[in-house]
Chain A
Amino acid sequence: MSQFKITISVFFLSLLLTCLAFPAAGQKKEKLILNVTVTDEAGNAIHDARISSSKNRYIYAGRLGSFNLAVYPDDVLKVMAKGYETKIISADQLESSVELQAVPDFSGEEDRISTLYGETTKRRTVGAYSKIDGRQLEANPTMHFYNALGGRLNGLFTMDNTMVPGFTNSSNFIRTPKGNMMVLVDGVERTLDYLEPETVESVQILKDASLKSLYGGIHTDGILMIKTRRGRPYENSARINVQTGIQQPLRLPEYLNAYDYAVLHNQVMRDAGMEPCFNPEGYLTGDPLLYPDVDYYGMFLNDHLAITRANLQYQGGSRQTRFFTHLGYQTNGGLEKYTEYPNRDKVFTLRGNIDNTILGFITLEAGFNAAMQTKSWPNMSTQDFFNMLSDNRPNEFPIFIPGENVGEPEKEFVLGGVANNRNNPYGHLMNRGYAEREYIYVQTDFSLDFNLDKWIKGLSLKPVLTVDVYNILTCAQGATYVVFEPTATGDPDRPIAYTSWGKETRETSKSRTGNDSQRNYAFNLTAAYNRVFGKHDINALLVYYRQTKEFRTLHNTLKRLNFGGLVNYLYDDKYAAEISLNRVGVGSFSKSERFRVFPTFGAGWILSEESFIPKKSWLNYLKLRASYGILGSTSYTSEGLFSAYLYRDVWEPGGTYANTGGGFTTNIASETQTGNPDVGYQKSYEWNAGADLLLFRRSLSLSAGYFYNLFDGELANMGDVTPGITGKNAALMMQNNKQYKSYGWEAEAMFEKRISDWKLSAGVNLCHGETHITKENNPPYPETYAGLMKIEKMGDVKGQRVIGTFADPSDVDASPRQDFGTVRPGDLKYDDANNDRVVDDRDRIVIANTTPSLEYGITLKIEYKGVNLDVMGYGLSGFDRNLNSKYFQLYGARKYSSVAVDGLPNGNPHPILRPEYANNNFIDSDYWVMRGDYFKIRNVELGYTLPHHLTSKIGINAFKIFARGFNLLTFSKLKTLDPENLDAGISNFPLCRTLTGGVSIEF
């Protein structure tokens, strides 16, 4: 791998030099000095016009539409402005003014939206989507792509789970809690790992039936579609982006120190009528080997880790050939102290694509993307490491003991530990070996675009083939270490005796602990027919698609195919109609159920084009749109389409005898699935309606929508309702027997205004959605068993309702029996909801809903003379948190967090502290619930672009310096821990604030 890194670095450097050398080479001719004004049809100057010069690799942005150009006579210039058609002119034909033709609202270059197999415009679509430009994502300094999306894409709910370098992950859904999301990069299911924002052209969510219709077989409430950059004709540029900074853990948990712990623990013991165990004074004055006080977080965590990201891009081309190349490098990590192998990763990415038109009508498009990650970490999971920090009590043992104390004077120190806790974090970081992972993926696309205009006007054909390969290798070197437990002897000559635990081993060779690979092949063929006959504008598409996915870990190859067609018809630029039919096939079902046709319908009406709306009014644009469709799917897992053959009875051969250690293996065969020939597609009936507006001279855009999805016949096995006495065990059959109803609304507003040198834009978007389970596998419980019934709304949590605490033993005796362990005075008293004089699971009610139902994002952009400030805030709302982790639920020898003193963040005091685990108090109940809503200033960029007239002198088109931040501020009721993930820093890596600074240079 290291040799590979050198190779890449050399390659990187030589490419950079080539780019820098390029503008100077072979330019001997005189430059033309031109003064050009860009105007609209009426001759008015267009403010935000840009002109790109292919030879200079400059993009000029002229104020008030006027440009002073110095270009070579054989240069080709591209004149662009938002809302106008782009014009390509050669320099020697350029006159003093260039007139651009306005295009109707929402149909310009930047208003194109990608559909699954083609393109459409915002104007003519009947569906619901969110779209952002890739450039906006560059403001996000983190390494994780989802971090950048929440708040920017309306309808995307995302919450970071961990930020382990290289293993960052988040939970995401679209619109509603049942909002399974499909991620497509350039039309293919691909991972977002290591995708750099600098390579992204646009990110979209396709939300309604009409836009999702041609994706067969997978249930999704939204398709997250990423389009990567490709070279644009006559917009040549080379670009270097470098940023570096730090990531700081946010809101680490707080624990009592040894003295406070000992005092409180003694109190707990006394309250329980037991002997206190500690001598608190010792922690103030005693020998620290006998009375240690370890601040685990301070001792083992750096206060930040370093991150760096750099990349180089070169792109451009002509009408004939376009290209885009990108080389990236990123590294981050190093939160753990001491060790040479903190969690750290390094990623190289390579991306390139080329579009070449041959024979005048065939465009060959080839793309290649590879990422190589090397990651190392101490030989334990980050969960184990953080659990150590959050479990080890401050006074449990000293971390270091002088070596001479235990008769090993050659060592400066040995490690402390006790018999039943030998987890000394120092030992785990230093003496347990390390692990390493290498992850490589290669994604390739190849397609031919046949423009058959010459033969049949408007027709094109495009076969696309993609092959992706993912490969992971993991290796580890393990070792173990010895810990020493100090105990007081009472003997003044030798006051401390040491007992050693464990044994020391050194492994000399690495062992391969895992390797995994997956492959994904897709083939699709699209025929597109786009033609205008007078007032009739037709876009039609015919698609054949098939996909095969292979995993090393699964028997079954995942396969699906579909064959569909879609017609979008726009009449008089006013009335849009769309219809699609899609024939979907998946292998899960029997031959008779395997293929089904699913239709969608949609319509749009651009009201503002009607004569009854005055042309010059404050209302520039108003469109109403609606769609309805039925989509069919089979189950989907994290690994993809679920293509077990559900119609077959299955016996699994070759299982082995379950006893371990016996060394006896025999072949057995057992039934693993009962086939169901009648099982078929899950159907999702999706309604969607919305309106889009442009107001006040196009400075304010508004959009609002409503959706209602009925998801019927979810595939589920009958495990919950099949009695154990059948002996079927896990060999059950799948049936279409659950039903969900999801609905909600979304809205967004964006205001853009230019006042002299100030450019301001502000936007807000929000989405509310919820999912109700309208049919569920419940055994026929009687009324008194209501507590056992499944939840009826996704995200609901069931538990007991607290009605107080037990006052005294007679109160315990007089109250209904509580079946959750021993009950004593002071314990929580629960409601006997079904009045059967026993409090148990049957009395549970819904106590919380832990899934957010509202997400909102706020964006603000201010530009003034090269200075820009971008601020983005993201909030999630309408959900609860269950404070049931070890941080909140304390007892006996558990490490005492500040909750022991300050009470729970929801205002409840901690229930009576018991020496032993309080089964009765720690079950799910409303005592531990609090609102989870939070709002974060998620992302800020402050940048300054040097004036073009200065930088152009040294051949630089744009020179921008910037500072970026992520997770800067958090607002929530919960102040002590990160509301985004309450386990962060306790049983997993903490969530972080990221601060970086850097430059972006365009040549």
Chain B
Amino acid sequence: MKQHKVFFFHFFATCLFFLASCQSDYLDKMPEAEGYDFDKVFKDSTNYRNFCDYLVQHTFFLHLENGVKPYGSWDDVSDNSISGRNSNDVPALQVANGDFYSIRTNGNAAMANNATWEQIWKHIRVANTGIMNIEHYSGSEATKQRLLGTCYFYRAFAYMDLTRRWGGMPYFYLPIDASANMDYPRLTMRETYKRAAADCDSAAMYLRVTIPENEFQHPTKIGALALKSRILLYAASEQARNEPGSDGENLWEEAALAADEAIRLAEDAGHELVPWADYYYIFKGGKPEIYTKEVLHGRRQSIAWGSDAYRNTIRPPGQLNGQYGGVSVNQLFVDDFEMKNGLPIEDPASGYYEQNPYVNRDPRFEYNVLHNGSTVMNRTMQIWNETEGTSAMGSTDCQINATGTVEMGYTRTSYYAAKWMGNTWNTVLPLLWPYIRLAELYLNFAEASNEAWGDPAVKDGRCRYSAAEAVNKVRNRANMLDVNTKFLGQDDFRERVRNERRVELCFEEHRIFDIRRWKIATQPEYRDLWRMKLVKLAAGYNAATYPTGFRYERLLERQRIFQDRHYLYVIKLNDTRIGPNFTQNPGW
């Protein structure tokens, strides 16, 4: 019995012990559980920097990344090219059908979907949080300035990307309270751009002029001013300028002066256009000593050969390990590559002959476009649709399957885009995504100053170059002659600058915004997609008429749908339901 009592006592003692620990601290946050709190983030200098580094490291959408549709460059959704992929969910095809409504919710359609919309706003919030809490920052004054500069830079960057996609937006200078009234009125595009340009000035005030190579991708003062140049160019362009409420301000002049300021600062800091021989290394090959010369703000990455990322984004022809649909370049874009003599092909003096179309063209044509007979990685492209005298369809690099559609991995138009293709078989391909490079600045300046002051050959006293000089810098680098003097009237020159921009900046995701800001996207020549049909001639063909042994024939590949409402994307529906002020874009 006594033994029982001892046992009993011990038992109750144990029970009490357990019950005593029945306290709420059992349920408190465990050390291993996730998450920092406010102090841990903003009062610790390393974490503060890491918080702001989110802006740098986390893009709001990925360029040339696996899984990001339309699988590759967004030039596919402009008039430069289209995806060879057939599946219904390729946004390029949806865009071509005018189906922006689906793109809004299409998970990977990073150019305009809801996720990207939210991601960009998150950048704005993070930038605003970084600015708001700067008083807590406990590190050095120099770093503090850089953090502030980074936040201002990315706020401007985010508003630039928001506005060119979705139009003018309310401009937030503080992180907004998610439980308060969200019904902010939308600003005009012009006003939003101007505020973003002001942020670029703030950023430029805090940022270093240049940065060491190992910090590449972080913003610089030059980058901030270059961004300002682009933003003001957009603000001055027809889409923003013609919005209601314009007070006659000289936006073109502002844009021209901003470009000039950025050019001068960049050139003085040692930036220059890299020689034509090194053009490849601006984009590929991983040579920082070359790309840092020209690229003012960029991002490095690399893609494994033969990986899904490689096939999805670079999209080489099937013969080069491609599988997911080539980038089919629009014949009308091919036409925009001038002849070596500096004349557009439609100029009677140019020497262009439709049955031998690929000779004596701008060197950038060979660089950017693969066509029948191009050589890449020791393979000669064989692209033709028919062989005279046989029933054979297609050729090695132009495959059409038994069901009549283009095989995945092949072209719809008889061309492939080559800008992002590496030149070495079976190696990892280092890439550089140039957000802003010096060539763009020259073109920004040329466009803006031509519009502002009208005479492209004459230099304004405040600027380093005339409009023509600026364009010629870009042309000469590509071994092209100066703009022909017969195009030095304001209107002709405008056409040449636009042409130059399309050629120089192709597949860098400028074109989709350029045709919008110029408001030309509804015109058939900027809307439709043409292809070249090649027929391989049987022996005994007339070599005088068909010097290449092929007959070339232009055909309309696809008529895109582009209406006025397509100039801006559809805003996430929930957001436009907040209240009467935050309105949806017209037509949606």
Contacts and interface: CB of A to CB of B under 8 A. Distances in A.
* A and B form one complex: yes
Interface of A: 265, 269, 274-275, 277-278, 359, 361-362, 418-420, 448, 450, 455, 461, 463, 490, 523, 525, 544, 546, 555-557, 559-561, 563, 585-587, 591, 594-595, 643-645, 648-653, 655-664, 666-674, 718, 720-729, 732-733, 779-782, 785, 788, 819-822, 840-841, 892-893, 915-917, 919
A916 to B, nearest CB: 7
Interface string B94-124: 1001010110000000000010011101111
Pairs A-B, 9 closest by C-beta atoms:
A727-B125, A650-B35, A917-B88, A587-B27, A657-B57, A727-B121, A662-B301, A729-B122, A420-B408
B178 A645 contact: no
Contacts of A359: 3-4, 7
A661 B304 contact: yes
B269 interface: no
Contacts of A660: 65-66, 301, 309
B582 interface: yes
Contacts of A667: 50, 53
A651 B35 contact: yes
Which of A277, A455, A658, A669 has the most chain B CB atoms inside 10 A of its CB?
A669
B129 to A, nearest CB: 8
B41 A651 contact: yes
Contacts of A666: 50, 53, 57
B47 interface: yes
Given A274-B404, A725-B176, A725-B582, A653 B33 contact: no
Contact of B300 (A557, A664, A780): A664
Contacts of B178: 674, 718, 722, 726, 728, 732-733
B99 A819 contact: yes
A649 B38 contact: yes
B484 to A, nearest CB: 42
Interface string B404-443: 1101110000000000000000001000000000000000
A585 B182 contact: no
Given A557-B30, A781-B577, 14 more contacts: A275-B404, A359-B4, A463-B14, A585-B24, A587-B29, A648-B37, A653-B41, A655-B58, A658-B59, A659-B301, A667-B53, A728-B122, A732-B178, A919-B99
B427 to A, nearest CB: 13
Interface stretch (B222-230, B535-543, B568-576): B568-576
Contacts of B29: 587, 645, 648
Nearest to B114: A724
Interface string B57-72: 1110010011000000
A461 B19 contact: no
14 contacts: A277-B402, A419-B407, A563-B19, A585-B24, A585-B27, A587-B27, A644-B34, A651-B35, A655-B58, A661-B428, A724-B575, A727-B126, A727-B175, A821-B102
Interface string B281-315: 00000000000000000011111100101000000
A345 to B, nearest CB: 31
B15 interface: yes
B125 A726 contact: yes
Interface in B380-401: 390-392, 399, 401
Nearest to A645: B29
Which of A277, A587, A653 has the most chain B CB atoms inside 10 A of its CB?
A653
A122 to B, nearest CB: 31
A669 B47 contact: yes
A715 to B, nearest CB: 16
B22 A544 contact: yes
B323 A420 contact: yes
Interface in B178-199: 178, 182, 184
Nearest to B116: A724
Given A721-B574, A893-B403, A658 B62 contact: yes
Interface string B1-38: 00110011001001100110010101111101111111
A915 B406 CA distance: 13
Contacts of A649: 37-38
A265 B403 contact: yes
A277 B403 contact: yes
A497 to B, nearest CB: 11
Contacts of A546: 22, 26
A724 B119 CA distance: 8
Nearest to A559: B27
Contacts of B309: 660-661
Nearest to B170: A725
A657 B58 contact: yes
A723 B584 CA distance: 13
Contacts of B15: 461, 463, 525
B34 A591 contact: no
A651 B51 contact: yes
Given A463-B14, A725-B121, A821 B88 contact: yes
Contacts of A788: 573
Contact of B4 (A361, A560, A892): A361
Contacts of B175: 727
A249 B87 CA distance: 32
B464 interface: no
Nearest to A563: B22
A720 B178 CA distance: 13
Contacts of A490: 390-392
B40 interface: yes
B169 interface: yes
Contacts of B47: 651, 653, 669
A917 B87 contact: yes
A557 B404 contact: no
B518 interface: no
B321 to A, nearest CB: 10
Contacts of A643: 27
Given A546-B22, A729-B121, A821-B97, A557 B301 contact: no
A264 to B, nearest CB: 12
A915 B86 CA distance: 11
A299 to B, nearest CB: 21
A725 B124 CA distance: 9
B318 interface: yes
Contacts of B211: none
Given A277-B403, A587-B29, A727-B175, A661 B51 contact: no
Contacts of B37: 648-651
B88 A652 contact: no
B54 interface: yes
Contact of B409 (A420, A674, A718, A785): A420
B578 interface: yes
Given A546-B22, A893-B403, A725 B27 contact: no
A555 B407 contact: no
Nearest to A819: B101
Contact of A556 (B18, B33, B50, B121): B33
Contacts of A728: 122, 125, 178
A141 B36 CA distance: 52
Contact of B182 (A455, A726, A840, A917): A726
A669 B24 contact: no
Contact of B51 (A362, A448, A669, A892): A669
B36 A525 contact: no
A418 B409 CA distance: 12
Contact of A591 (B24, B121, B300): B24
B431 to A, nearest CB: 9
B574 A779 contact: yes
Interface string B38-52: 101100000100110
